[in-house]
Each structure stands twice: as C-alpha cells, then as structure tokens.
Structure 1
Amino acid sequence: MQGLLITNVIKILDKAGYVVTDLAETKPRCFDVVARKGETVLFLKVLYNIDSFKPEMAREMKIIAKTLKASPMVVGERYKMDYLDRGVVYTRYGIPVINTATFYDMIVEGEMPLIYSAPGGYYVRLDNEKIKRARESLGISAGELAKMLGVSRRTVMLYEEGVDTNVENAIKLEEILGECVVKEIDVLNFVSDEEVEEAENVRYGEKESEIISQLQYIGVDVIPVKHAPFDVISKPDEAPVLTGIKQVREIEKRVDLMGRISRIISTMAAYIVERKVKVQNDSVVIVMKDELSCVSNPKDFYNLLEEKRDNQAE
C-alpha cells in the first residue's frame, strides 16, 4: 500500500514539474521522497496510516529540513480508524500532514488548504484586517456583528485581533460580510525554526566516532542523522555537506542514494572512508580519513571537497 502511495506522490510531483528521487531501497528512513522545483525543496514521508509516524522521525525531519532549507511534510490517507479529509492540514509532532488529494491541490493546482485539524474539530485562520475592513465598510458595529453571529462582542474583537475560529463560525462570518476572510495555510513554511529540537545522540562505532572527532577538531559542526542514507550533515562555513561515515559493505548503494539526493537539492556530498573503495560517483566526494589530518579549519575542509570533486569529474 505504501509503495503505491509513493508512486502516486511521485506522479503528482512529476506533473507539477519537480525533479524527484525516492529512497525505497533504504531502511530505516525518516523521509521517502526528495523533490525540488526552483527554490522549493520538499522532504516527504509517505505513509498509508500516519499513526506509524514516530516522534524520532519527526524530530530528524525537522532538523534535516532546517539545515537544508527544505519543507518537511507527511502525505498519508488514514489515521486510527478514519480517513484524512481533503483540504485539511493535520499535525503530527509539529510536522504538517495532508492526504494525497490535498497534496495534488497544493502541488499541481497551487491551492493551499484553508482548514486545519486540532483538538475539538476543524479550524481556520482568520484575516483580521479584512474582517475589520469589511465590517466597517458595511457600517456594522462589533456588537451588531456579534448578535448576527450569535457570539459575544469580545469574540468578534478577538477575531479582529487574529484569533482562529472553527469552520462553522467562519462560514457565518463570510456570509454576513460577503467576502472570504480565511487565510491559506502555508504548508511549505509550517514548521518554524523555534520548533526544531536538538538532534538526538546517535551511537556510532569506534571508527565513525574518530571521524566525527576529527571533523569537530577542525571546527566543522556535525549534525548526527540516524534515519537517512547519510550519517551526519557537516557544516563548514560555506554550506552544509551530506556526509557518510559508516564503514559498511553497502557503501556503493549508500553513495548512490546520497548522490541522487545531493543532485536534487544542489548540495555537496562526501563519504569519508578508512580504506580505499572501488566506488565512483560524480556527485559524492570520496575522502580518505587520513586526508583530514591535513585540514586545519572548516574552509580548508570545504576546499578539499571542492578540489576532489573537480578531480573526480575530470
């Protein structure tokens, strides 16, 4: 079921002109699809039942998205014993969740959803300036509008200050004022930087820990990643680098996945190895661990990657 859903999501992205890659070959993963169109970069988790979305996956999605200037999102169809509704944004651990139909409306038709789900029902975000302007143009006082809506004057004042309301009240409000006063929900900028938690500690083997220590010693920030084809995101001053450090047999497969992601999001990628490997990928720089001993600062590290990338391309 999930495979079919991922296929449908990719078809929608293709139709909208996105360049896309999926990570069907790797597990575990906190995202299944990476897509880009212009400056918009999407990291998508696709699940038939969104109840299987775990808090550690959400945390990591938010960290990756913030670091790589991308938008994290979950696309699904069900939760508990019910279906997700079209045009409604749900939330799981701070990540926006929508169904495939809503995803189509947003990506292909350019129509952002207007409704979000929260405890107690469905709600909308009101355009407080439009409400006040429309009320005044009709010559209606806040008290009169309150009577028409069947709410208190204080509630009307709250609407004009930007407080959200349920869908039923919003419909009444628009019928009385004669215009749309509901704001679109910007799913692409749903997660604020303030909501992003610190990366959780990841246990690495001795060899991987040595590589991380070397990177940190030369001043490179290292963000650990557990559920992705890359193991850390290295952050020299210039730009983030998708970085593989696990010394495993499947390096070739991981390098291929890293290369596909780096091409989509136009980000440098590197794999640091202890021994020479017979792996070649124009999008992933292969770095010997010993080469890090010749690097003294983050700028030198980035220059090393650029130089090796250029040499690999020749």
Structure 2
Amino acid sequence: VADVLGATPLVVAALLKSESIRPKTIYDRYGITTINTETFEEAIAGKQLPIVYAKSGGYFAHINPDYLKKVREQNKLSLGELSREAGVSKKSLQDYEHGKGAEIENILRLQEALGDLVLNTINIFQFKVESHPEKPQDSVSKRLEQLGFKTTAVHHAAFRMISRHKDDILLTGLKKEARPKKAHDIHSSAETLGQHDMFVLNHSKAKTVQGVPVVEREELENVITSRELLKLLRELTHHS
C-alpha cells in the first residue's frame, strides 16, 4: 500500500517482542521502521528525529564522519593514536569516518577521548521499503489494469485492492454486498488521502453506500478510459 501511495510505512508501538521500545530509537519489524509514540510525535512536530537504531548485536548510531575527522585532527591525533586512547579499533575508526554505524559503547568512548561528537539524525520519513506487491487476479483488477491503473491486493483492510493511475488513487471494495461499516471505513480512508473509492458489485440498487460509489461489474466493463471511470464515480456520488 505504501508503495502505491508513495508513502513511508511506520509501525508505532510501545512494545516489540515484549521489550519496551526506547525513545529516539528505531527498530525493524519485518523490514518496516518501528518506533514508540514519543519518537513519532517528536518527529511529526519537527522537534527531534531519532538518532539510535537497534539491530542484531545492540544499539548503534551514525557519527557525523566529517565532524569526527575534524575533531580528531584538531586534537592532533592519528587514527592509530585515537584508537589506543579510546580503546576503539583502528578499522572501526576508519569505518566511522566513512559513515558506517557505530556501537553506542564505542561512541561513548570516542566522546570521552575527543570531548565532542555530532551524531546524525535518521529521517524516518525517507525510508524505502523493498516492495513485492501482490497482484489481484480477479476480473475487476484486470479491468482496472486495462484502464491504465496499477493495482495491488490488500489484506486485513476494508478495501480489497488499491489502484493508481498517475496522481489518481482508487480504493476498491469487493463484496457480494456493500456493508455500511466496511463502506464507512473505505470512505474514511479515501477522504484522509483525498482520493477516490468505490464498491464493485454484481448488482446493486443503491448508487452509494456511506458515501462510497457503487459500480456494477457490467458498468465497469463498459467504461472506456480511467478518466471516464473517475467521472462516473463523481456522478454517482453527486446524485446520491
């Protein structure tokens, strides 16, 4: 869904595998960035982006490589000298000056040796997630594909598929009948996105359900272009 929307998926939670999620720290859950409520609220408000990330082996952060080299040279220390003074391997120091993440323990040792460090924040809104979208195999999806939409199947949501054509996004419900509760959830999602929604049914007397346009399968087959479909949805909503 995030891939179709051009958005960044986030999980906001208090616990991860029974462990409390630390503030200003990001975790990974099935490839999706996971943070706690405090971190999310600070990031949304533009106050503070997280600095630390958790992965196998502990907690890490990125030292600003240019600043690290600058402070090291200001202290007139070679990599070898800093390695001995801080108790951090020379190879690790070279990695840090090339932007590799550092263990929090090593960051504290370097901070004590140099007196000053700058840590880079992590922009959680720019993460790209590897996407393997599942294509729906039903006739509605195939028809939307013919009209130029890129469609993706959706599970555990009110709508069964999400489709995109240029800047237009369409949330589609597929049921034998358009239930008001499900229609309300679809319409609420579409309104939040400022986008389109529809139910596709075999037959229906109602033109809309809870604000969601209802298109019969035969009507959809008769639509020629994506523009014509969006026009039909607007007309159904207007005449409801």
Above 0.5 in TM-score? yes
Aligned match of 2:97: 160
CA distance in 2, matches of 1:81, 1:228: 26
CA distance in 1, matches of 2:92, 2:232: 61
The structural deviation recorded for 1:154 is: 2.5
Aligned match of 2:169: 240
Superposition CA RMSD, Å:
2.5
Aligned match of 1:73: 10
Q: Provide the secondary structure at the position in 2 that maps to 1:240.
A: strand
Match of 1:210 among 139, 144, 166: 139
Aligned match of 1:294: 222
CA distance in 2, matches of 1:274, 1:81: 46
CA distance in 2, matches of 1:256, 1:236: 24
The structural deviation recorded for 1:165 is: 1.0
Identity among equivalent positions (%) equals 28
Q: Structure 2 length normalisation: TM-score?
A: 0.86
Paired residues of 2:158 and 2:182 also in contact (CA < 8 A): yes
CA distance in 2, matches of 1:236, 1:133: 49
CA distance in 1, matches of 2:144, 2:133: 19
CA distance in 1, matches of 2:70, 2:236: 60
Match of 1:186 among 99, 123, 128: 123
Paired residues of 2:88 and 2:109 also in contact (CA < 8 A): no
Q: Structure 1 length normalisation: TM-score?
A: 0.67
Aligned match of 1:223: 152
Aligned match of 1:198: 133
Q: Deviations over 1:236-271 (max 9, x none)?
A: 234221111222352x22121111111112122122
Match of 2:112 among 149, 171, 175: 175
Unaligned runs of 5+ in 1: 1-63, 204-208
Partner amino acid, structure 2, of 1:253: K
Paired residues of 1:135 and 1:141 also in contact (CA < 8 A): yes
Partner amino acid, structure 1, of 2:100: V
Relative to structure 2, which stretch is displaced further, 105-114 or 146-155? 105-114
Aligned match of 1:265: 193
The structural deviation recorded for 1:229 is: 0.8
The structural deviation recorded for 1:159 is: 0.8
CA distance in 1, matches of 2:16, 2:197: 36
Q: How many residues align structurally?
A: 239
